[in-house]
Structure 1
Amino acid sequence: MSAAAGTAWWIRAYRIGFAVLGLVALLWIPLRNMDSATFSLTNYLSYFTIESNILAVVVLAVGGVLAPRGPRWQIFRGAVTLYMLITMVVYAVLLAKVDVMLNDRWINDVLHRVLPLVLLLDWLLVAMPRRLRADPELIAWWLAFPLVYGIYTLIRGPIVDWYPYPFIDPRGQGYVSLVIGLVVLTVVFAVLAVAMASLGDLPARWRDRRSAD
């Protein structure tokens, strides 16, 4: 029996449905602004929100069509869910009133709220065969992408004189405040990663408990 055949049809259906919704939301702004002289596709793709949502659409689409259940997929799925959780938390705490190129309310809600919640609920409710351990190696692997993103942004920012988010822009706050803020965010991200790995074990624990009973 294939992995997809072993996954409930309604799980595959909502994954595909939200993957389509996410794809439409991601394409809406570039397609609408294709002829605008002020729109930069490179800048658009340089937002962590956009990058994490692209990965989320991939996870939902592959999870809906193929429903893989291997350990590598489980780790990748957990990583993308973490990035979407970071997107939701950072937006709610730091960016809710900041212009991040998503002026359409429905796109803003889909990318910052709806898809992160879908990924999180899918992670919490759909059990994978292998239980994760929130060890330092896993946490470091999961946090590699946000780290690379931060380095990329700080290198590219002075070159193009543009930064996607105020908290990673040294021009107004200076590098000391920037470093302090990034250290605090790194700690928060690490805590979220540990929580993600621990919460991802819940469905497997429930399954094992039912089997024991």
Structure 2
Amino acid sequence: MSGAHTSRVVAIALRLGAAALSITAMTYQLVAVHIPRGYSVPDYFWYFTNLSNIMISIVFVVSAVRLIRGRTDPSSTDVALRGAAVVYIAFVGLVFNTLLTDVDISSITPWVNTVVHFVLPAAGIVDWILWPPRRRIPLRVVGWWMVWPAVYAAASLVREALTGWYAYPFFSDDAVGGYGVVVALVGVMIVGFALLALGVRAVGNALGARRWHREAEPAAAG
């Protein structure tokens, strides 16, 4: 068994395993906890954590299927979408472990919390490092990666102002002590997200150039 074949098998196993774990955790939380307690189903899918877990799971499954079929040269769009998913899930882990350390998460089943806030962010980062993108990511792609979080933040702020409901306390002036604090926190997150996106791009380009350009045989993943 060649090194490339072994690497491909490991990539497939990691991606399908992580996706299955994420989907199982989110389904359990929704069906066994969220709905029985009378919480809104649409609200469940408003959380950036859940949306990011869904996206990375889809990317993992699609990329694993591509590898199973022997396709190891993804398009530029595939690489950009994969990078976006990695940035978003890494951001989930970063924010949860910095800005949300004091937030009451008693409504989240402990093992589910571990999966969506720790395991999947770690899986996304490890996958990006072990199997970096085969195509160089242009700087302009980082701008596209910023669009969805910006839209999400704007929509969350508007929804909180209109209904009083918020997924995260930093979107509520009542929760954090005024609109000035909200603006400051959102500003910090935007800057942090931009730096994270630039970092993911830089790591992907550097590791991709180092690994794929020196391998003569088809590589494991893209």
- TM class, shorter-length: 0.7 to 0.9
Among 185, 204, 208, the alignment partner of 1:204 is 208
Aligned residues with identical type, % of pairs? 31
The Cα of 1:127 is off from its aligned counterpart by 3.1
TM-score after normalising by structure 1: 0.88
TM-score after normalising by structure 2: 0.85
The Cα of 1:34 is off from its aligned counterpart by 6.3
- Give the secondary structure class of the aligned counterpart of 1:95: coil
The Cα of 1:72 is off from its aligned counterpart by 0.4
Go from structure 1 to structure 2 and tell me whether the alpha carbon gap of 1:34 and 1:48 turns closer, same or farther (over 3 Å shift): closer
The Cα of 1:158 is off from its aligned counterpart by 2.9
2:47 pairs with 1:47: yes
Which deviates the most, 160-169 or 61-70? 61-70
Is 1:100–1:165's contact at 8 Å kept on the other side of the alignment? no
Go from structure 1 to structure 2 and tell me whether the alpha carbon gap of 1:206 and 1:35 turns closer, same or farther (over 3 Å shift): closer
- Give the secondary structure class of the aligned counterpart of 1:181: helix
Aligned residues between the structures: 206
The Cα of 1:207 is off from its aligned counterpart by 2.2
- Give the secondary structure class of the aligned counterpart of 2:10: helix
What does residue 173 of structure 2 align with? 170
Aligned counterparts, 1:1-20, within 5 A:
8-20=8-20
Aligned counterparts, 1:140-151, within 5 A:
140-151=143-154
Is 1:102–1:108's contact at 8 Å kept on the other side of the alignment? no
What does residue 93 of structure 1 align with? 98
The Cα of 1:98 is off from its aligned counterpart by 1.2
CA RMSD of aligned residues (A): 2.2
The Cα of 1:35 is off from its aligned counterpart by 5.1
Among 79, 85, 88, the alignment partner of 1:80 is 85
Separation (CA, whole Å) in 2 of partners of 1:125 and 1:14? 11
Separation (CA, whole Å) in 1 of partners of 2:9 and 2:82? 19
What does residue 58 of structure 1 align with? 58
Uncovered stretches (5+) of structure 2, i.e. residues with no partner: 217-222
- After superposition, the C-alpha distances for 1:20-63 in whole angstroms (9 at most, x for unaligned) are 11100111111114653531112111111011111011011111
What does residue 155 of structure 2 align with? 152
Uncovered stretches (5+) of structure 1, i.e. residues with no partner: none
